[in-house]
């Protein structure tokens, strides 16, 4: 029933003026329309469409080099390369593969990007290269791009989850697919599935903890782009008031529940977690509630977002209810009126996106769908090497240490298992201070409290990694606080995490780094030796730590003495905190 629109789209694409990269990329431009026409040809084998594809590809090929080269998949030249590669699968003309080679030769994957986002950031580049590799073997190393994503990872101390880019003047890191945590986690899962030797499950799970922390608070995942700090509560109220205009943002693929739902479907198919299925059920419920209320047609932000979720739910989870809703929508006057009045033909914001979903729905398959990853393409197998080992291989030791430590804390792996790991893993032992075997003999009392001893090893390891890693101006010596009540029979005295020998002109950078390290172990921190001078800057820094509950001064006599020395007593300290 939608065939008659293909002619309109072809005429538009052959006549469209090309003045910027947006005019030819996947998101807004001709490459996105080309992907629709390729799918249309695959379904209907229409020669006139194939002829139009040849002309359209020549238009794109003759213009893309005029614009600054962008490595992004959805908005840049990597997506154009993917389009040419897919076009080469339906034609005998070798020129399309040559076009792919030419574009890839121009792409600089060391080019700095402003974020780790799926749309415009490092995750999008990684996803694009994985998708491209399904149809064109490019041989480009993916690990360096993965490092950039990990480098932007930060522990969020409110949710105990992982977040990525902190944008200026932003209240919170975004939830969502295009610009949020869900999209990055999705791409990491795709990478993990494609790789024969890396398992990122725990890291991905911690990303989702951030989003679901706010799900519990607001009953849906909030789009933090819409929340001005000055009127946060008012913004939240308006945002979830379905009688007002805020509805379009939180149903969306880009930063709403439709994109998050696609993330959860893919991860549920991979990992089978009950919590993921509960999230999917929540999205299904809200789709039914909002789908006939949408005025925006687009795949990015409107009705198309929810239709894309329903398609993924049907194709990947075989949900018959989603299939029924899609059938009703596609053959409804509700959609027909919107399609008839649509004047935007692009993939993400117009008619092409709706028709693209329709063709995949008719075909009942998901091969080479750039909007989501086909889980059938690769069989998920148990991985043999954990992501901690990948961190060593990627030469990023400080994050490696954090990941190792966090896994130990999360999984409460037995000390015997951990000990076996470090005995038989050369990459783990190589160049790292882990102590000698005799230091970790398996006495009964140690075994029963294995996670504490394991953390002690990992703290020392973390210190070594930080000293050798990229934090050249910060030398940290760490000792774990050992709970004396568990080891009283062995006469082990309680010690406290100490940070010494810190020197840098950038106090803010120090505070951020130490915040992550200390919070990771939830340990007490003495400030003896931390404060070398009792200047105002130091007082504010210490007050900042205490205000964020990083220091717990009342638990240690040494802390109390130092506070008296630096601040003159607790009252003065409280005054500094309040003024800060």
Return the minimum-mean-pLDDT range out of 174-178, 461-465, 492-496: 492-496
Report the sign of the C-alpha dihedral through residues 289, 291, 293, 294, in that order: positive
Give the per-residue pLDDT at 124.
95
Give the per-residue pLDDT at 531.
40
Residue 369 maps to a domain: no
Residue 479 maps to a domain: yes
Residue 532: pLDDT band (50, 70, 90) is very low
- Tell me the pLDDT of the chain averaged across its residues: 70
Residue 168 maps to a domain: no
Please list, in sequence order, all residues whose beta carbon lies within 8 angstroms of the beta carbon of residue 333, skipping any fewer than 6 positions away: none
Q: Residue for token digits 């993916």?
A: 142
Give the per-residue pLDDT at 449.
36
pLDDT of 502 above 50: no
Residue 376 maps to a domain: no
Residue 186 maps to a domain: no
Q: What angle do CA 224, 226, 232 make, to 5 degrees?
A: 80
Domain end, chosen from 119, 136, 153, is at 136
pLDDT of 169 above 50: yes
Residue 513 maps to a domain: yes
Domain end, chosen from 506, 523, 540, is at 523
pLDDT of 529 above 70: no
Give the per-residue pLDDT at 247.
44
Domain end, chosen from 483, 502, 523, is at 523
Residue 11 maps to a domain: yes
pLDDT of 295 above 60: yes
pLDDT exceeding 90 applies to what percent of the chain? 33
The tokens describing 150, both together, are 């990990």
Q: pTM here?
A: 0.67
pLDDT of 205 above 60: yes
Is 459 annotated to bind a ligand? Reply is no
Q: What is the mean pLDDT of residues 334-341?
A: 86
Q: What is the mean pLDDT of residues 318-329?
A: 92
Residue 335: pLDDT band (50, 70, 90) is confident
Is 175 annotated to bind a ligand? Reply is no
Host domain of residue 404: 387-523
Residue 519 maps to a domain: yes
Please list, in sequence order, all residues whose beta carbon lies within 8 angstroms of the beta carbon of residue 433, skipping any fewer than 6 positions away: 460, 461, 463, 464
> What's the number of domains the chain is made of?
2
Q: From the CA atom positions of the chain, what is the Rg in Å?
A: 27
DSSP for residue 386 = B
């Amino acid at each position: 029933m939608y065939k008659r629109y293909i002619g309109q789209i072809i005429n538009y694409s052959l006549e469209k003026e090309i003045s910027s990269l947006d005019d030819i990329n996947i998101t807004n431009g001709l490459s996105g329309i080309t992907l629709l026409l390729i799918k249309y040809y695959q379904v209907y084998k229409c020669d006139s469409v194939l002829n139009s594809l040849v002309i359209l590809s020549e238009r794109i090929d003759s213009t893309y080099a005029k614009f600054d080269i962008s490595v992004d998949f959805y908005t840049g030249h990597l997506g154009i390369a993917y389009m040419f590669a897919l076009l080469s699968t339906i034609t005998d003309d070798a020129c399309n593969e040559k076009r792919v080679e030419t574009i890839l030769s121009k792409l600089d994957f060391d080019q700095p990007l402003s974020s780790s986002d799926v749309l415009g950031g490092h995750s999008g580049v990684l996803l694009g290269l994985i998708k491209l590799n399904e149809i064109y073997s490019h041989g480009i190393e993916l690990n360096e791009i993965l490092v950039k994503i990990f480098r932007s990872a930060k522990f969020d101390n409110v949710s105990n989850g992982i977040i990525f880019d902190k944008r200026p003047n932003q209240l919170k890191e975004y939830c969502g697919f295009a610009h949020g945590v869900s999209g990055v986690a999705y791409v990491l899962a795709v990478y993990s599935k494609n790789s024969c030797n890396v398992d990122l499950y725990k890291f991905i799970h911690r990303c989702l903890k951030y989003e679901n922390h706010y799900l519990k608070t607001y009953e849906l995942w909030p789009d933090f782009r819409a929340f001005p700090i000055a009127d946060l509560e008012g913004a939240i109220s308006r945002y979830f008031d379905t009688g007002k205009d805020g509805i379009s943002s939180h149903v969306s693929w880009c930063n709403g529940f439709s994109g998050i739902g696609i993330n959860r479907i893919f991860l549920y198919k991979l990992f089978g977690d009950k919590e993921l299925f509960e999230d999917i059920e929540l999205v299904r419920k809200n789709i039914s509630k909002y789908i006939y209320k949408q005025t925006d047609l687009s795949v990015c932000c409107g009705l198309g977002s929810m239709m894309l979720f329903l398609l993924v739910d049907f194709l990947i989870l075989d949900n018959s209810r989603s299939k029924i809703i899609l059938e009703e929508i596609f053959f409804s006057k509700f959609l027909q009126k919107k399609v008839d009045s649509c004047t935007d033909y692009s993939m993400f914001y117009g008619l092409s996106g709706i028709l693209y979903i329709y063709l995949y729905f008719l075909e009942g398959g998901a091969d080479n769908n750039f909007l989501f990853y086909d889980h059938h393409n690769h069989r998920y197998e148990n991985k043999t090497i954990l992501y901690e080992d990948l961190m060593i291989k990627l030469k990023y030791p400080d994050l490696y240490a954090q990941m190792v430590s966090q896994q130990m804390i999360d999984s409460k792996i037995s000390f015997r298992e951990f000990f076996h790991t470090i005995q038989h893993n050369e990459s783990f032992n190589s160049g790292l201070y882990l102590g000698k075997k005799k230091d970790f003999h398996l006495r009964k009392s140690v075994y029963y409290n294995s996670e504490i001893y394991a953390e002690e090893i990992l703290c020392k390891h973390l210190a070594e990694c930080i000293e050798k890693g990229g934090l050249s101006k910060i030398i940290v010596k760490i000792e774990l606080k050992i709970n004396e009540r568990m080891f009283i029979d062995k006469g082990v005295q309680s010690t406290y995490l100490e940070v010494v020998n810190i020197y840098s002109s950038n106090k803010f950078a120090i505070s951020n780094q130490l915040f992550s390290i200390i919070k990771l172990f939830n340990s007490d921190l003495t400030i003896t030796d931390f404060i070398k001078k009792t200047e105002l800057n130091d007082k504010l820094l210490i007050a900042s730590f205490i205000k964020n509950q990083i220091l717990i001064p009342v638990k240690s006599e040494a802390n109390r003495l130092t506070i008296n020395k630096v601040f003159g007593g607790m009252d003065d300290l409280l005054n500094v905190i309040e003024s800060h």
